[in-house]
Amino acid sequence: MLEFLTTLHWGAVFQIIVIDILLGGDNAVVIALACRNLPPEQRTKGVLWGTLGAIVLRVALIAFAVVLLDVPLLKFAGGLLLLWIGVRLLAPAPDAHANVKPADKLLAAVKTIIVADAVMSLDNVIAIAGAAEAAEPHHRIALVVFGLIVSIPLIVWGSQLVLKLLDRFPIVITLGGALLGWIAGGLIVNDPAGDRWPILDTPVAEYGMSIACALFVVLLGYALKRRNANRIAGHTPGTH
């Protein structure tokens, strides 16, 4: 253990921790959005289990990062999935939890966090894997795991802060959904399958797609939320 610590590339460790801090904001928003409808006593569990599950999956993704990012249409499919996750976080299905036990709700929130984080991490894992390249080959996975473990308290604390903001300022929910749409747009336009169209490889195309997807999530989310509210009102006893 002592030999491992003395031969460790601490510069790479620092880089990985900084990357985790910078990229942890997206995770905090997703975790908070997914856990906002849980009972107060289950929110902390949702944040912790969701964070741990997402980090375990991220370690696995980093091991295959280069291969994953070169698979045509994977980013495109991930972007579409993230769009739908963003819409559903803004406008949950009205009857989704009507007869669901609290434990099942917690499991659903954790699943949402893990899936969303996996999609959002397709680009992020490259940055972490790149930082680990500076270390000895037999240290790299250990470095990644160490850096992610160190980032857990930061992501959990950030999620708790966002949850408090969601309770106090509902507009943060809309901003969070727009953020997921923005990330989805970047994934879609940067898919390797689009390399044959040079017009997509421009800042204008990337920003344009990100803005379009952010608006798509917000507008569709609000439309579904209004439709769900009208449907519930129509089924309320005494209403016509």
The string of pLDDT tens digits covering residues 6-25 is 555 566 667 666 666 655 66
- Report the phi/psi class of residue 235: left, alpha or beta, with left for phi > 0 and alpha for psi in -120 to 50: alpha
174 domain-assigned: yes
Within a domain: 2: no
pLDDT digits (tens, 9 = 90+) for 153-171: 777 777 888 888 888 888 8
pLDDT of 55 over the 70 cut? yes
As a 3-state breakdown, the chain gives helix, strand, coil percent values, each rounded to 5, of 85, 0, 15
Specify burial of residue 196 (Cβ count, 10 A radius: 0-12, 13-18, 19+).
exposed
Arithmetic mean of pLDDT, 136-149: 67
Residue 239 counted as domain residue: no
Residue 3 lies in a domain: no
Residue 47 lies in a domain: yes
Range of the domain at 101: 9-234
Would residue 229 count as lying in a domain?
A: yes
- The pTM of this model reads 0.66
Look at the block and give the residue holding tokens 């249409």.
Answer: 73
What tokens appear for 214 in the block?
């952010």
Residue 54 lies in a domain: yes
The answer to whether position 1 is within a domain reads no
Number of structural domains the chain divides into: 1
| Cβ contacts of 148 within 8 Å, gap of 6 or more | 16, 20, 55, 58, 59, 128
What is d(CA 3, CA 150) in angstroms, rounded to the nearest whole number? Answer: 21
Task: Evaluate if residue 2 carries a pLDDT over 60.
Answer: no
Residue pair 76/187 in contact (Cβ under 8 Å)? The answer is: yes
